A and B are shown apart, each in its own frame.
Chain A
Amino acid sequence: GAGVSQSPSNKVTEKGKDVELRCDPISGHTALYWYRQSLGQGLEFLIYFQGNSAPDKSGLPSDRFSAERTGGSVSTLTIQRTQQEDSAVYLCASSSGQGGTGELFFGEGSRLTVL
């Protein structure tokens, strides 16, 4: 597709389970971002990948959160032992331009509900 694709669009899980969220960026985009948006809140930065550089993980809220980007394309955000406070919309974005300085294109998000 032409845009950023995220799956699943909705995920309901029980507290303590692990979840994986997937992001397929726009082809050729070197930068990939994950953000979290809780109900009625702003965008909380989680992690940033740029080309082959080491990712900026400074926004990950705990060691239960991790992310990978394989082959410079698809990324997976993993949340282990989910907690109710993890409930949010997880947004992925990608960008091009030198060092990823172009506009960010966002996916529609993955809505996570932890019961």
Chain B
Amino acid sequence: AQKVTQAQTEISVVEKEDVTLDCVYETRDTTYYLFWYKQPPSGELVFLIRRNSFDEQNEISGRYSWNFQKSTSSFNFTITASQVVDSAVYFCALKRGANSKLTFGKGITLSVRP
């Protein structure tokens, strides 16, 4: 079975603060894929990142960075210098491998106050 746990349900920060969204996953597979999606108030799901299990390099994209650690089965997402436009629900997701479904965590609601 595969499972994604996003223990934080709601986070509220003031603009320009850094914030980390946690994601812990469970799978018995050696090949798997991890994703983060953003769902702003408009409702449309926006792809942020995809990482395969063989690539543990951390990634930075502008103010966004991701820390993938297989030893702790975690794939955390950090927003540096948060902005009001970052307010959204963020979902972490796991795909076991080819020809399998994508399992989402329950999501974290991030509110960034001016």
Asked whether A101 lies within 8 Å of B33 as measured between CB atoms, the reply is yes
Asked whether B95 lies within 8 Å of A101 as measured between CB atoms, the reply is yes
A42 interface neighbour in B47, B98, B102, B107, Cβ under 8 Å: B107
Q: Which of B44, B99, B103, B106 has the most CB of A within 10 A?
A: B99
Asked whether A42 lies within 8 Å of B105 as measured between CB atoms, the reply is yes
C-alpha spacing A103/B95, complex, angstroms: 10
Count how many chain B residues have C-beta atoms less than 8 Å from C-beta atoms of the other chain. 21
A39-86 with Cβ < 8 A to chain B: 41-43, 45, 48, 50, 53, 56, 58-59
C-alpha spacing A26/B99, complex, angstroms: 18
Contact status of A104 and B43, CB under 8 A, knowing A33-B102, A45-B101, A50-B99: no
Asked whether A100 lies within 8 Å of B99 as measured between CB atoms, the reply is yes
List B contacts of A91 (CB < 8 A): 45
A68 CB, min distance to chain B CBs, angstroms: 17
List A contacts of B98 (CB < 8 A): 50, 98-101
C-alpha spacing A47/B1, complex, angstroms: 16
Output the nearest chain A residue to B52 by Cβ-Cβ distance: A101
Asked whether B99 lies within 8 Å of A109 as measured between CB atoms, the reply is no
Judge whether B68 is part of the interface by a CB distance below 8 angstroms.
no
Asked whether A45 lies within 8 Å of B103 as measured between CB atoms, the reply is yes
A50 CB, min distance to chain B CBs, angstroms: 5
List A contacts of B104 (CB < 8 A): 35, 42-43, 45
C-alpha spacing A98/B95, complex, angstroms: 13
Output the nearest chain B residue to A58 by Cβ-Cβ distance: B101
B63-108 with Cβ < 8 A to chain A: 91, 95, 97-107
Asked whether A103 lies within 8 Å of B97 as measured between CB atoms, the reply is no
Judge whether B3 is part of the interface by a CB distance below 8 angstroms.
no
Cβ contacts A to B, 13 pairs, < 8 Å: A41-B106, A42-B91, A42-B107, A45-B101, A48-B100, A53-B99, A99-B98, A101-B33, A103-B50, A104-B35, A106-B44, A106-B45, A109-B43
